[in-house]
Amino acid sequence: MSELVIPQINNNDTHALLVEWSVEEGVSVAPGDVVAILETSKSTFELEASESGILKIEKEAGEEYAFGERIGYIGEESGDTKVAVNSSQEQVNVQDSRGILITDAAKRLIASEGIQLATVQSLGKRIVREKDIQALLRAMPSQEREPDPVAADQTQQSAIARVVTRSHREIPAAFLVKRVYCDQALAFLKEQGSEQGKMLSLPDLIVSELGAIHEAFPLFFANTDSEGRLKSGLPANIGVTFDFGKGLFVPVIESVSELTLAELAQRMMRFRMKAMRGRFKESEMSGGALSVSLNTDPDTVFVRPLILPPQTCMISLGAVFSECQLGQEGELEQRRFVNIGIAYDHRFINGFESQEFAATLKKRIEGVESSIS
């Protein structure tokens, strides 16, 4: 017997909506067949069978279930079975006695665009997905809509609330802030960007430098398992926060230590554009070993970031500030700096280690020409 459980799809949610069963109960499935469609606050996930057998359903579609919760299983073959139709060829409709089933993504779009339920029902679909509402919008006069942005945000905010609650409940976090002078780094980025014809920013550089030191500080690039045990030795997969009014996204840049600064900047720009559209693939949102919270709006001194389970560390970057100092000859000189915050899991990382980590990052950024060239 093979259990069907809700996998840990990403680090930003704790539950997933069971949108539909793609195969009816009692049907024979093979490894790789899609048996259910799941949805988190940000994307859709296909749950596949891991072995051959007969599908047994234990949980109803249309409800949310926690990561790790069992929703069914695949039992042994019997003589009287039906053969599953591959989900890529035919979608099985799931009957729901309570009426039509609307996915969370579709609900958010319905609420934000002010579409009436009667209009949705007129589609004649038992399961309404985001793409169905998008098609409806293209054919629908704008005057028929009454947007409700508050309702559109409720589902996503609920998912964020669960992550916040879990982080505060499970992780005894500590925090420190380092002042990092960045005149040399900003000049370097401007020069290199001009030479390569690319936009290079301070967040790009900081993520790049984190990738460069990840082998020296494995505790900061670690995950914990369900029993709170540490798993280190992970690759330098770094999540970066993006929020342009369509929700908070933390996509992951894989193997940062293997990328040039220009390659990293290109991937960061690609993620910015996806965040503006408000949609990522689930594969782009998982596998992070450490995350960086960007809070670079003017006058943002620092933000104490939330550590995203199962990670052990999150970095925050504030705005660039200027200050006047006395030079060696007693003259006034202006210098620019940023505040970099480090939130760390105190079960595994102590103050001395966090200070060493922060000091190393500071030294590399302030001496960027020698560390990158």
Residues 231-259 pLDDT 10s: 999 999 999 999 887 778 899 999 999 99
The answer to whether residue 149 scores a pLDDT higher than 60 is: no
The pLDDT confidence band at residue 32, using thresholds 50, 70 and 90, is: confident
Which of residues 330 and 42 earns the better pLDDT score?
330
The answer to whether residue 265 scores a pLDDT higher than 70 is: yes
Q: What is the pLDDT averaged over residues 315-322?
A: 95
In degrees, rounded to 5, the angle at the alpha carbon of residue 237 between the alpha carbons of residues 234 and 239 is 135
Q: What is the pLDDT averaged over residues 224-235?
A: 90
Q: What is the pLDDT averaged over residues 286-303?
A: 92
Domain with CATH 2.40.50.100 in the chain: 2-83
Which of residues 303 and 179 earns the better pLDDT score?
179
Residues above pLDDT 70, as percent of the chain: 86
Q: What is the pLDDT averaged over residues 29-38?
A: 89
- Helices marked H in the chain: 104-113, 117-121, 130-138, 149-170, 183-196, 202-212, 261-277, 351-366, 368-372
Q: What is the pLDDT of residue 335?
A: 93
Inter-axis angle of helices 130-138 and 104-113, nearest 10: 30
Q: What is the pLDDT of residue 293?
A: 96
The answer to whether residue 95 scores a pLDDT higher than 70 is: no
C-alpha distances out from residue 135 to 79, 120, 129, 278, 336, Å = 43, 11, 10, 17, 49
Q: What is the pLDDT of residue 19?
A: 85
Domain with CATH 3.30.559.10 in the chain: 171-372
CATH code of the domain occupying 171-372: 3.30.559.10
- Quick: pLDDT tens for 115-127: 888 788 888 877 7
Average pLDDT, the chain: 84
The answer to whether residue 66 scores a pLDDT higher than 60 is: yes
The pLDDT confidence band at residue 155, using thresholds 50, 70 and 90, is: low
Q: Which of 361, 325, 320, 358 is nearest to 337 (CA)?
A: 320
Residues above pLDDT 90, as percent of the chain: 47
The answer to whether residue 11 scores a pLDDT higher than 60 is: yes
Beta carbons within 10 angstroms of residue 142's beta carbon: 9
The answer to whether residue 362 scores a pLDDT higher than 70 is: yes
For 2-83, CATH number out of 2.40.50.100, 3.40.50.2300, 1.20.1260.60, 3.40.50.880 equals 2.40.50.100
Q: What is the pLDDT averaged over residues 306-331?
A: 92
Q: What is the pLDDT of residue 84?
A: 46
Joined together, the tokens standing for residue 350 give 């102590």
Residue type, 362: K
The pLDDT confidence band at residue 76, using thresholds 50, 70 and 90, is: confident
Burial class (CB in 10 A: 0-12, 13-18, 19+), 37: buried
The answer to whether residue 80 scores a pLDDT higher than 60 is: no
SS3 31: coil
What are residue 235's phi and psi, to 5 degrees?
-70, 165
